[in-house]
Amino acid sequence: MNEVDALRVKIFADGADLDGMKAMYANPRIGGFTTNPTLMRKAGIADYREFAHTVLRAIPDRPISFEVFADDFDGMERQALEIASWGANVNVKIPVTNTAGAFTGPVIERLSHAGVAVNVTALMTLDQVRAVTERLAAETPAIISVFAGRIADTGRDPVPLMREAVAIMTARPKAELIWASPRELLNVFQADSVGCHIITATNDILKKLALAGKDLDTYSLETVAMFHDDAAAAGYAIDAGAAREHEAVAAIK
């Protein structure tokens, strides 16, 4: 068993490029998918509903999260119920607050108790984890996405926070914690070590899974060879330049 096969954390692919999503769907290690309006806009998606249905036809049997984009609570709930109707494998992403900072707990509670599998997103504090966990229906599957990568961007170590989040969420056994916005492959193993249920990562990080456990001496040699080959391909010639400089100085003297 290699290091990746030993992982207990589920790996989800994060993105909005249809071809990339299909490629990850062909990988049995990828247990689900997440996306958001920002990723969709970057991918040039013009029709939200059409894109979602296209994805669901291509990926009918693994969890996929689509996010509401209304900013008022009534609008969030209407959009969430519509999105949830698109497929049994759909999780509806609800931001932890609206843009005014109002906690979306009432929306989360109504949806969860109505049987909607929510994915509450953009959390960054343990207080938020506690507040969301309390609103979830015990009998309804749910996801809480803590943006560990963004926490790390502020100079804070997300590992202790994520470990505590796992402990808090034991009050809702059907709820799963996502380590969101990872910055490097190491985060996959960190998420696994703290008992995080899921990590969602972009394709550029997921492609590095092939490097897990790679011999470091071999990797060092390959890196040296890469630098050498790129310098040769660019036609760099420091020695020749140094010789010309020496000749010019000699001529002045």
Is the residue at 2 inside a domain? no
Is the residue at 227 inside a domain? yes
Domain count for the chain, please give it. Answer: 2
Is the residue at 58 inside a domain? yes
Residues 81 and 164 in one domain: yes
| CB contact set of 176 (below 8 Å; sequence gap of 6+) | 10, 141, 142, 143, 144, 169, 197, 198
Is the residue at 112 inside a domain? yes
**Tokens coding 42:** 């970057």
pLDDT, tens only, 131-176: 999 999 999 999 999 999 999 999 999 999 999 999 999 999 999 9
The domain in which residue 162 lies consists of: 10-211
Active-site hit among 93, 174, 208, 253:
93
Residues 110 and 130 in one domain: yes
Collapse the DSSP code of 92 into the 3-class scheme (helix H, G, I; strand E, B; otherwise coil) and give the result. Answer: strand
**Tokens coding 172:** 């809702």
Integer Rg of the chain from CA: 23
Is the residue at 1 inside a domain? no
* Sign, CA torsion 108/109/115/120: positive
pLDDT of amino acid 106: 98
Q: Which amino acid is at 58?
A: A
CATH code, domain carrying 158: 3.20.20.70
93 is catalytic: yes
pLDDT, tens only, 97-119: 999 999 999 999 999 999 999 99
Residues 15 and 130 in one domain: yes
Per-residue pLDDT for 178 more than 70? yes
pTM value? Answer: 0.90
Distance CA 2, CA 165 (A): 28
**Tokens coding 161:** 């926070």
DSSP assignment, residue 97? B
Residues 131 and 233 in one domain: no
Residues 207 and 228 in one domain: no
